[in-house]
């Protein structure tokens, strides 16, 4: 992550010679913000862990000829694309587009975590898996860019949502929570 963070600093300073600009060249997302790109890059790893692909991710990373850090970043981006993590869903300015896309849950999901859940994935000081570009201040600003007119001063309303959904002691007996042992976030703060 240090390498791509340094590349982000180069890009933000106007230097065109960086991995972010290079990987976006010729695509539709050349104007994506650096912090949005950092969220995309981190989610290549997090998404694989979160959605049951951690073994596949490890199988990809283990034999990889690391070469240069640039080669590694390019290989990771190609791996992400192969597994459905592409930069298109991370541009907060594109998320502001209100055109309905029945094949994408990106905009509604983003609105839900911006206003209800607050699942803002920030950098850990102990085990950094995300760029410092993605500190707590990034998320409300990203939400306001994606949803013009949205005021994040009193959002998300995570506790109100918890109560609305039954609180911390759900009073229902016919719920099955699968893959509890595979919950990737159980180790996040240990």
- Residues whose CB falls within 8 Å of the CB of residue 179, separated by 6 or more in sequence, listed in order: 52
Number of domains in the chain: 1
Q: What is the mean pLDDT of residues 145-162?
A: 90
Q: In terms of residue numbers, what domain contains 46?
A: 2-168
Phi/psi for 47 (5° steps) reads: -65, -40
Residue 20 in domain: yes
Residue 81 in domain: yes
What pLDDT shows up at residue 144? Answer: 96
Instruction: Look at 64 and 114; give whichever has higher pLDDT.
Output: 114
Residue 23 in domain: yes
Please tell me whether residue 1 adopts helix, strand or coil conformation. coil
pLDDT confidence tier of residue 141, bands split at 50, 70 and 90: very high
Residue 51 in domain: yes
Written as one string, the DSSP assignment of 160-186 is HHHHHTTTTS---S----TTGGG-GGG
Residue 181 in domain: no
What tokens does 92 get?
């907060």
Residue 160 in domain: yes
For tokens 């998404």, name the residue: 47
């Amino acid at each position: 992550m240090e390498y791509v963070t340094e590349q982000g600093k180069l890009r933000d300073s106007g230097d065109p010679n960086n991995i972010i600009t290079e990987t976006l060249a010729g695509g539709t997302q050349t104007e994506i913000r650096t912090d949005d790109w950092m969220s995309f890059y981190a989610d290549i790893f997090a998404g694989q862990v979160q959605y049951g692909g951690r073994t596949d991710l490890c199988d990809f990373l283990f034999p990889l000829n690391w070469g240069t850090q640039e080669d590694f970043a390019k290989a990771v981006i190609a791996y992400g694309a192969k597994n459905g993590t592409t930069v298109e869903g991370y541009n907060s300015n594109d998320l502001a587009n209100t055109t309905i896309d029945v094949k994408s849950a990106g905009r509604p999901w983003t609105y839900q975590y911006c206003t209800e859940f607050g699942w803002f994935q920030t950098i850990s000081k102990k085990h950094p898996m995300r760029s410092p570009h993605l500190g707590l201040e990034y998320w409300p600003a990203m939400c306001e860019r994606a949803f013009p007119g949205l005021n994040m001063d009193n959002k998300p309303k995570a506790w109100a949502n918890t109560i609305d959904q039954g609180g911390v002691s759900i009073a229902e007996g016919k719920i099955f929570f699968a893959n509890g042992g595979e919950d990737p976030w159980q180790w996040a703060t240990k």
